[in-house]
Amino acid sequence: MRDVQPQVYLVSAPALDYEEIEEYLKDVGGESWLERIYREGDDDAQNLVEFAGRFCYRSWEPGLNPNVTRIRTEQKDYLENILSSQHGSVLEHAQFTFALHNVSRVFTHEQVRHRVGTAISQESLRFVRLDDLSFWFPDWAKEDDELHEKALRLIGQMEDFQMWMAEHFGLDDDGRTFAYKKARTSFMRRFAPEGLATGMVWSANIRTLRHTIETRTAEGAEEEIRIVFDKIGQIMRQECPLLFGDYEVNDAGAWIPGWRKV
């Protein structure tokens, strides 16, 4: 058995093409916006959200739309107004992709219930043959010696059965077709525990991230998913402090947003 910890890797984040944005802005007379925003570092997601918001009202500067006589010049104020006034649709433009590694099927079953604003690619246990089983134990379970010892023995038996089946089905024999291996591998996974560590590529936009960070770190949520979403929350607070800075993390580790259901 491989003793593992759930891991979160941010593998993709928005990247803006400021030259194209400038071309557009020249056409509507809004180039001054580019002088006000920061373009270094990890500001692209926040800039994209602001870009989409200002696009709607031509609020790059006062007067471009005669109905707009004053504007919020600070990005902090602008984005806070987006959150507080629940204009969250502009958050949907900024999409982030995470590699969620060594997360269990317990986790993935719950994670895929979030449908809106997500994209999912899950490790296929129809194709990927199991041999040693990866498993995460919470610290409290490891500290219970009797429990831990019995659990390890059980997992060891399941591993032995996986190996036995692979040999019994002759999966590595010459001439085995891929279809045969796939069918047997799919059968074999039925004897893997739901706690088996596996993986998922998960993409979500900022609106979805705000909702899932709140619901999946809530005190009533499952232990593993709370750990993963605490990590995602920390990453997002670093990536987009102006769009995730309103959360308070309470003593129980729940992320409570200042602005809910944006």
Ligand X SMILES: Cc1cc2nc3c(=O)[nH]c(=O)nc-3n(C[C@H](O)[C@H](O)[C@H](O)COP(=O)(O)OP(=O)(O)OC[C@H]3O[C@@H](n4cnc5c(N)ncnc54)[C@H](O)[C@@H]3O)c2cc1C
Residue 220 touching ligand X (CB under 6 A): yes
Q: Nearest CA to 257 among 214, 216, 226?
A: 214
Task: At 124, list the tokens.
Answer: 């296929």
Residue 211 touching ligand X (CB under 6 A): yes
State which of positions 97-116 bind ligand X (CB under 6 A).
113-116
**E strand or H helix at 204, and its extent?**
strand 197-205
Residue 218 touching ligand X (CB under 6 A): yes
Place of tokens 């005669």: 66
Residue 201 touching ligand X (CB under 6 A): no
Q: Nearest CA to 259 among 242, 239, 235?
A: 242
Residue 219 touching ligand X (CB under 6 A): no
State in angstroms the smallest separation of the CB of 222 from ligand X: 7
Residue 221 touching ligand X (CB under 6 A): yes
Size of the site for ligand X (CB under 6 A): 10
- Does 216 participate in catalysis according to the annotation? yes
CA 203 to CA 226: how far, in whole Å?
18
92 SS3 class = helix
Residue range at the interface with ligand X (CB under 6 A); choices 32-40, 128-136, 141-149, 210-218:
210-218
Residue 89 touching ligand X (CB under 6 A): no
**Which residues belong to the active site?**
216
Q: Contact positions toward ligand X, by CB under 6 A?
A: 113-116, 211, 215-216, 218, 220-221
